[in-house]
Amino acid sequence: MGYNLLKGKRGIIFGALNDMSIAWKVAELAHAEGATFTLSNTHVACRMGSVTELAQKTGSEVIPADATNLEDLQNVVKTSTEVLGGKIDFVLHSIGMSLNVRKKRVYHDLDYNYLAKTLDISAISFHKLIQTAFKMDAMNEYGSIVALSYVAAQRTLYGYNDMADAKALLESIARSFGYIYGRERKVRVNTISQSPTVTTAGSGVKGIDGLIDFSDRMSPLGNADAEDCAKYCVAMFSDLTRKVTMQNLFHDGGFSSIGMSLRAMKQYNKSFDSDDVQDLY
């Protein structure tokens, strides 16, 4: 059942690649909640076909863009306001990619050209997107811009590699630009720090299955999945959150605040019962 939370709102959703993508779930729910929006992804992703399927389902136009390219971004913002018939109320930045992760370069053997690309695609593109919208005065007052982050921005988690640095920068950009955009135009900028989720980008991370299982067991509420994330994004786009800005909002079943759980303590104690471990004393 919908609540019409986004009735009459216009948006731009970046990063829906396939039906596992978090952005895909956000688009479906935003549509169900009454929003109209455009969809954007890389030229290659848009040619692959599934974005078109989502566009048909949600009555949206697809505008290809490399999110690191300013001209592409200007075109997305301009075309979106034309197609949707006015200024924009919400933007989702659901973009991430690391060549170091893809090419299995570990953190103590990074390729710096790859690192520059990771930062540009996964973090600086957020600044480029916000700056483009700001300069074009394309957002309505109390409009909401959201990017997706991960707790590895703040705590070290094995295998997340240079994406951790990119997410730290992404969260910082939300605070820095959030201040200026709020002060000048009353536009909100936040990041949502999502549980590890089974998606195409997620599956590139080393040991992702173990990480998903670990955080699911450690979180009192268990992991948040892509549908849960879509609900939080829609709430952040709605008028119910008009005074929330410059925040990194954890959406992870409580994982980020847990040090030791009862379950983990029992497992930890059990590990010392085995003969192997006793021999170590």
Ligand X SMILES: NC(=O)c1ccc[n+]([C@@H]2O[C@H](COP(=O)([O-])OP(=O)(O)OC[C@H]3O[C@@H](n4cnc5c(N)ncnc54)[C@H](O)[C@@H]3O)[C@@H](O)[C@H]2O)c1
103 is in an annotated binding site: no
Closer of 61 and 140 to ligand X (Cβ): 61
> What is the dihedral angle through the alpha carbons of 227, 229, 230, 233, rounded to the nearest 10 degrees?
170
Q: How far is the CB of 278 from ligand X (least distance, A)?
A: 37
202 is in an annotated binding site: no
Q: How far is the CB of 135 from ligand X (least distance, A)?
A: 19
Q: How far is the CB of 21 from ligand X (least distance, A)?
A: 3
Closer of 29 and 67 to ligand X (Cβ): 67
Closer of 105 and 186 to ligand X (Cβ): 105
Q: How far is the CB of 192 from ligand X (least distance, A)?
A: 8
Q: Which residues bind ligand X (CB under 6 A)?
A: 15, 17, 21-23, 41-42, 45, 66-68, 94-97, 121, 148-150, 194, 196-197, 199-202
Q: How far is the CB of 93 from ligand X (least distance, A)?
A: 7
Closer of 47 and 135 to ligand X (Cβ): 47
In angstroms, the CA 255 to CA 10 distance is: 33
Closer of 121 and 139 to ligand X (Cβ): 121
Residues known to be catalytic: 150, 160
104 is in an annotated binding site: no
The string of DSSP letters for the chain reads ----TTTT-EEEEE---STTSHHHHHHHHHHHTT-EEEEE--HHHHHTSHHHHHHHHHT-EE----TT-HHHHHHHHHHHHHHHTS-EEEEEE-----HHHHTT--GGG--HHHHHHHHIIIIIHHHHHHHHHHHTT-EEEEEEEEEEE-GGGTS--TT-TTHHHHHHHHHHHHHHHHHHHHHHH--EEEEEEEPP--SHHHHTSTTHHHHHHHHHHHSTT----HHHHHHHHHHHHSGGGTT--S-EEEESTTGGG-S--HHHHHHHHHHTTSHHHHTT-
Annotated binding site: 15, 21-22, 95, 167
Annotated binding site for NAD(+): 15, 21-22, 95, 167
